[in-house]
Structure 1
Amino acid sequence: MKKVIYFLSIVLLITSCKKDEPKEYVTLSGKILNQNSDSLVVRSRVYSKTIKVNADGTFSDTLKVATGVYNFFDGAESASIYLKNGFELVVSLDTKQFDESISFTGEGAEVNNYLAARSLMQEGVFENDSLFKVEKPIFDEKIAGIKESFHALLNKTQNLDSLFIADEQKGIDGFTQYIASMYEEKQYLNTVLAKGNVSPKFTDYENFKGGTTSLDDLKGKYVYVDVWATWCGPCKREIPFLKEVEKAYHGKNIEFVSISIDQAKDHEAWKQMVAEKELGGIQLFADNDWKSQFVTDYKINGIPRFILIDPQGNIVTPDAPRPSSDDLKVLFDELKI
């Protein structure tokens, strides 16, 4: 009898140890209301896993991952999700209120609910443009308050890994620094590049059709400038819309100028794309890509960027609507172009 009890004790001990062993995968399940797709994608720069979503919005799968933050994509929108082998996450989501509704339960819920709350807070910073219109001392006070609120959210969240906390603290610093740089840029746009000020100029840019072109050559007409590059996906997506706008305003008091800031090594790629895509308007190649004086004077840090200049060479707007936006036609109509 003692031998039987001893044997059973050993079995129970082994079983208990196995139960305590961490799982080498993540269990991810949940339900999506108003789903955008029949699948989800969990991905990073080096990992991708597609998860089937049933007709009723439910899903369940296992993922073997390296610990870290991943992108959780439902076919239309995405969120950040923190995964670690051993987590058993249950996701709840209504895509009609994606960021507001996403929530997590189960093992690993705390860190992921934190990420969801942090994302909402970040969006809230950008919802009210008044932040970027206040005087510098008031802005600095508001930024300090924003930084404090992010730290408060992080500090009150339980069961966070120390490395995750350290990364988040760096992220908070980076985010507030980014907001500060946006403020400086907007102040520059609203002062140095304010409506009515003389526009920065470009001089003797190579013209695809031959010769060179300067901004002063175009005085007497409005000039709609598109700063782009052949490698820029969003720039290329605007091309069909730009062609439509050019066609609609052909013969009007406006010139459409596209300035490529491709590097010198991509000069031939620029010429080839202009020819193959039959790009219209005035196609120019900047003299020094991102370092071109016109680009730096307009504080262009991302493309595509659109600028509108009046017939006298003065700024109408240093950040004009894109060709794909209905606001562009409204602006042109207001100016009676």
Structure 2
Amino acid sequence: MGDSSGTDTDERQGEQGSYVEESFERDTNYITTRITRDARDGHRVEAGRYRLVVARACPWANRTIIVRRLLGLEDAISMGICGPTHDRRSWTFDLDPGGVDPVLQIPRIQDAYLKRFPDYPRGITVPAFVDTTTGEVVTNDFKQMTVDMETEWREFHREGAPDLYPEHLQDEIESVSKPIYTEVNNGVYRCGFAGTQDAYDSAYERLFTQLDVLEERLRTRRYLVGDHITEADVRLFTTLARFDPVYHGHFKCNRSKLDEMPVLWAYARDLFQTPGFGDTTDFAHIKAHYYVVHRDVNPTGIIPSGPDLSNWATPHGREELGGSPFGDGTPPGPPREVVPADHNPVLALL
């Protein structure tokens, strides 16, 4: 998954994928065990039983962090946070005292994978749910994880939580999200890890064609689907937040910066300034991960000082399009797990 750990044997790690004719192809064979109300896969929704393991650097994990916060699931689902970089084996809990997760009592998420699958052959990725009663990974299927948090965990949602996956909009959410995933979320990686000029040119064209489509879609509507934030917006936001700091330069997605695409830039700022989005974004971790871990793309490991991120705090004017972030609901309270002030100085400007 995106920036999750463990692929082949190279230093890229964070990319669970392979190459077909020198074009990056993501491996989407995740652990599909689900946590549901009826426990049909053997794992029942239960407050306090599961730990969500994430890395703030990873866009796929960032989705789960946003959804957990918007829905107020902090008391029901604890969260372990890995550091922004990792070695060949997996993400590590190097932010915790002694380098050990205080709940799972392991130094790296790989241990939870191997506890369940001693010969696990695939990437050791985040996000992942771990069953604290067994210490075993349950799932790393990032897309299903957020949908299940939105639907299967409803009894534990906070009062005023938004409906991020309303039943009557689910088909539209998935329809809109499909090209976002293939052309944008995954498209930036196809640009960055292209092995030939032709592969890069194709990925670049597909990426910006879809960004232009989204620019037009969002010109007359505040959110991607419906009149309040949904799962579709969460899926797009985490790529947009990383676009100028990382993808524009590091992955050669440089036709234009996000702040040069006026509609998408206003849309991204609108979400960033909404509780749950900007306050879960750790720019320091994002830059450290991509520029340090991807040594085949950035051999020196130098982390660039820019760009200036203060423009994320500027007015966006999207309120004029109608709608409201949470529909009939309310914003979440202050974050439980706070991004350090020097990792996201924009928040002090809001």
* TM-score bracket, shorter-length normalisation: under 0.3
Q: When the two structures are superposed, what TM-score results if normalisation uses the length of structure 1?
A: 0.25
Higher RCO (C-alpha 8 Å, min separation 6)? 2
Q: Which has the higher strand share?
A: 1
Q: When the two structures are superposed, what TM-score results if normalisation uses the length of structure 2?
A: 0.24
Name which one, 1 or 2, has greater alpha-carbon Rg. 1
